[in-house]
Structure 1
Amino acid sequence: MAKTDVASKDTTKGFLAFVERTGNKLPDPVFIFFYLIGILVLISVVAHLFGLSANHPVQTNADGTPLVIKSASLLSAENIQRLWVDMPKTFTHFHPLGYVLVVMLGAGVAERSGLFAAGIRQAVRGAPLFLLTPVVALVAMLSNHAADAGYVVMIPLAAILFASVGRHPMAGIAAAFAGVSGGFSANISPGQLDALLFGITEAAVDGANLDPSWTMNIAGNWWFIVALMFIYLPVIWYVTDKIVEPRLGKWTPDATQAAEYGDEDKPLTDAQRKGLRHAGLAILAVCVLWAAMTFSPGTPLLNEPAEGVEQAWYVTATPFFRSLVAGFMVLFLAAGWAYGRAAGSIKDHRDLVDMMAEAMKDMGYYLVLAFAAAHFVAMFNWSNLGLISAVHGANGIESSGLPLPIALGLIVLFSALLNLFVGSASAKWALLAPVLVPMLMLLGISPEGATAAYRVGDGATNIITPLMVYFPLILVFARRWQKDFGLGSLTAMMIPYSVWMLITGVILMMVWIFLGLDLGPGAPIGYSLPGAG
């Protein structure tokens, strides 16, 4: 066993131990939603009896008087009928469901063909010694497009890479874990996470009925997640090299250590390298195809304005933005198929169909979760409690005199705290979005801005909560190199990353709103309700 200076930590005391004990007692997120539906029903009845209401911020009655939004009991005959009659529609019309399933049809092929794993290995092997940490962190963040492959391939590979150059393998695990999980929302382009989160955001906007003209744009946080990546990269580099690795002490491997820990660092075969070349050509072909559909005569992916009518460029490009969900599916599918045909992992079209079917099997739990979340969100909207809470919450923030950047920063911190107790990113956003999205819209923050604030808080504490689904797997990887490495050791190792990523993420969010920068193409952070004022 390798020698190390890290001592075992007492994991029975302290705040993180409390988080672990409390979180482990929570039921599965599916049942959390069912319990919350029961609580919501009771609250809606009480709110209706007490006449809880708010003035609609935009809509008025025919005589110009404010339209009053009244709370509705979920036990009314109308809502009970709606629950049972509309159940199939409530489930299938849940916005994130279609977006995620479409993207995963392609991403599942790219993952199962071996494209993601080979691409990750090729990207980090041979990195210059002084750039090893930032290269590992960068590829780890980019690997979020690869779903599970980022955790399963990148993290053990980083440990081997660090060990092969005489550095502590635990530092490699820490840097890769920080990139894959802490930098969960940082990337160079939108992907399946954007489809998931913006689908929930769209459901929140539709439920509040504040702006029927707002449409989901999967690229709505594009510029922000790129900036987040460039912020997190030096943070992970500094924390790894200056804080974590010195604390780990000098690492001395056993004589047989290198042979014990898998083949993650094997050089790519000729077939795999050929597959990567073919995948690159497929990606280029898909990009050319989308460009042709956007800029060629007839422009099927642009809304041409009527003659003599001026419209903003992002309104013109709305079909293009909305096509990106399908675009990423085609991109992953084409690249995965091209790689698999060249590398030998896909023999014929039946293999391709099998991979797509396996990807859908993996989504089984998500379908169950989506059923529960869809009904919670829908019933929250039927009760009108979401919009009423948003109106009163926005009024409370305005009357407090709290500057908007500070308020947004506090929302980021709240998301980070909630993440310690509820691991699923989609479950948390489904809980928060029906209130936070309309509340921030009323305060002048766009739905894209609300989504960006949430994802900063969600990612930063992923790496210190035992409720994150891959946390036990990271512990297994760590024990390959140090047998006595425990839960407390892993948490203590990752806390510096979490603290600095949260601080820098909050600062970035506050600076972004202060400067009024766009979060993505056609996605300003500032917002004004149509017809307001």
Structure 2
Amino acid sequence: MMKRISINILTRVERAGNKLPDPSMLFFLLCLIVLGLSWVLSLFNVQATQPTNNKTIHVVNLLNWEGLTKILTETINNFVTFPALGMVLVVMIGMGLAEKTGYFEHLLHSVVDKTPHKLVLPFLILISILGNAAGGAAPMIMPMLTAMIFIKLGYHPISGLIMSYAAVEVGYGANLIIGLDDALSFSFTQSALKLFEGDISINVAMNWFFMSISTFLLVPIIYILAKKVTIPRFQNLSIDKDTDVSVDKKTFTTQEGKALLWSNWMLVLWLVCIVVIAIPKHSFLRNNETGQLLVDSPLMNGFGVILLITFAIPGIIYGIKSGKIQNSKSLGKILTQSMSDMSSFIIVIFFAAQLLAFFDWSHIGQVIAINGAKLLQHQSGVTLIIGLILLTATINIFMGSASAKWGILAPIFIPMFATLGFHPAFTQMVYRIGDSITNPITPMIPYLPFLLTVARKYNKKIALGTLIANLLPYSIIGGLIWTIFMIIWYLLGIPVGPGGPIHLGD
């Protein structure tokens, strides 16, 4: 009975979502709505007071002469400086080489053939979650690879895209590896802690205990949802005839086998070189002033280029050794083909970049965040945990940037929770749960349009509503269970990480 009700709800959400305009036009309309809101809210002098410094933030009208001038002069800059645009296009050059030369296909055939069938899906989910340590690369790379593997398993590739994307985005606050998000969150928490009078020690790994256990909590949740909901809902969806989705056992030639071996060894050699170069304290891959690898370092700032080379090396080696690349002309043709599907994504990102800029310029997101935080004042314990998670999850739909949200909320909640006796490590971890659970369904994260672009490689009729409806269970179920898990953790009083107790003084 419950299963039938949930299926009906998802079907209705999908139908409603598919009635929305094309994503590019949807973002354009959202831009118009935000512009209109900026005028209306400024007309009524809607504002918020930052509790840490009593600074008043007003909603700014973008439809006056000053706002229109800014829009006119900054539109192109918004587009070309949009972080996801450069990352996606650069990485797609390398991934396209690896895909079009046949390297991915041969590698994935080999992986699937050697891995027990029952372990393939949990392994893909785990790797998708762990991929968050690499920053913004995981939501591009893992869904694409998972879709290819799903073809080899006999599943619909779009169900693989959805499962992996949900794992990457819902699992944003879970990992076994201390990564970029840990460093960014720590930097804002450390700054916010200065507003609290007291000697509190914090470190970048202070959420690691809870994050690690959460990783193994989320894997079975996502696996069950994929097997019971996502895969069955796509099993009868057609795949475009011009898409190569053959699941037959393919026989590779001896030459292709040697090409795969050479490609893998060169890939390993390249990765070893990166690790060896990064180890020295004065490595050029580290921050020149602090010596850190994860914060404002050439390694992280140039991660897109490193990924380009990481995929291009085995792709080119395989292409040459297998005979797919015979000269510069054939290489150029493959490069052109690898970018041929990105045109619709570029159009969507143009309007998405303007939407995010309008939110920033108008201060609507900041006012929502600050006024929402007031609702949690004078709360404590379990109520405070649930409230912060729900507040952050809601704000996340309007503000996709994790660093931007925590930059606003940390100066509010770190001192507030500390006054109530909670350690900043605990506060930060509660925030990170809320920041993760609505990631799959928010259009403010630019990787959702990218997911739609990839999905249309397999079915050109697929719409945004279908993706959101099928991602929704991961947000709801994952968020519910994860929140309950945090409450149990809190009641048991277990530290969330090394040097990260629940309460101050523990």
With the shorter chain as reference, the TM-score category is 0.5 to 0.7
Alignment of 1:117-128 (within 5 A): 117-128=105-116
Structure 1 residues 230 and 330: CA distance shift in structure 2, 3 A:
farther
Q: Corresponding residue for 2:373? A: 394
Aligned to 1:52: 46
Residue 123 of structure 2 corresponds to 138
Instruction: Give the partner amino acid of 2:355.
Output: F
- Within 5 Å, give how 1:367-386 maps onto structure 2: 367-386=346-365
1:150 maps onto 2:145 in alignment: yes
Conserved? CA contact 1:116–1:146, under 8 Å:
no
Q: Distance in 1 between matches of 2:84 and 2:441?
A: 23
- Please state if 1:69 is matched with 2:48: no
Aligned 1:230-241 pairs, distance under 5 A: 230-235=216-221
Q: Name the CA distance, whole Å, in 2 between partners of 1:336 and 1:176.
A: 23
Give the aligned partner of residue 25 of structure 2.
31
**1:321 & 1:512 partners in 2: Cα distance?**
33
The alpha carbon displacement at 1:74 in A equals: 0.8
Contact 1:153 1:264 in 2 (8 A): no
Are residues 363 and 233 of structure 1, via their aligned partners in 2, closer, same or farther at CA, if it must alter by over 3 Å?
same
Correspondences of 1:34-433 after superposition (within 5 Å): 34-56=28-50, 66-128=54-116, 132-139=117-124, 142=127, 146=141, 149-150=144-145, 152-159=147-154, 179-185=163-169, 230-235=216-221, 262-296=246-280, 298-305=282-289, 313=292, 318-401=297-380, 403=383, 405-410=385-390, 430=400
Task: Provide the TM-score with structure 1 as the length reference.
Answer: 0.63
Q: Distance in 2 between matches of 1:313 and 1:228?
A: 26
Q: Which amino acid aligns with 1:341?
A: I
Contact conserved, 2:125 with 2:163, CA < 8 A, in 1? yes
Q: Cα distance 1:398–1:231, how it changes in 2: closer, same or farther (>3 A)?
A: same
Amino acid at match of 1:31: M
Contact 1:109 1:337 in 2 (8 A): yes
For the Cα contact (< 8 Å) 2:79–2:354, is it kept in 1? Answer: yes
Deviation at 1:67, TM superposition (A): 3.1
CA distance in 1, matches of 2:6, 2:359: 38
**Equivalent residues, number:** 429
Aligned residues: CA RMSD? 5.3
Structure 2 residue corresponding to 1:443, chosen from 413, 424, 431? 413
Deviation at 1:374, TM superposition (A): 1.1
Aligned partners of 1:380 and 1:297: how far apart in 2?
40
Match of 1:16 among 3, 6, 10: 10
Question: What CA distance in whole angstroms lies between the structure 2 residues aligned with 1:53 and 1:81?
Answer: 23
| Contact in 2 for aligned 1:437/1:450 (Cα 8 Å) | no
Q: Residues 76-134 of structure 1, C-alpha deviation per residue, up to 9 Å, x if partnerless?
A: 21111111122211211222222222222222212222222222221111434xxx212
* One-letter amino acid of the counterpart of residue 28, structure 2: F
Helix, strand or coil: the match of 2:285? Answer: coil
- Kept in 1, the 8 Å contact 2:400–2:442? The answer is no
Gaps of 5+ in 2: 129-137, 194-206, 234-244, 415-423, 461-465
SS at match of 2:57: strand
Q: Relative to structure 1, is the Cα distance of residues 150 and 77 closer, same or farther in structure 2, using a 3 angstrom cutoff?
A: same
Residues 405/234 of structure 1: CA separation in 2 closer, same or farther (3 Å cut): same
**2 CA distance for matches of 1:296 and 1:350?**
40
Q: CA deviation at 1:375?
A: 0.9
How big is the shift at 1:223? 10
Distance 1:44 1:512 in 2: 41
Task: Give the distance between the partners of 2:474 and 2:40, measured in 1 at CA.
Answer: 44
Alpha-carbon deviations, 1:421-464, whole Å to 9, x = none? Answer: xxxxxxx86599866763466434899986775444445999xx
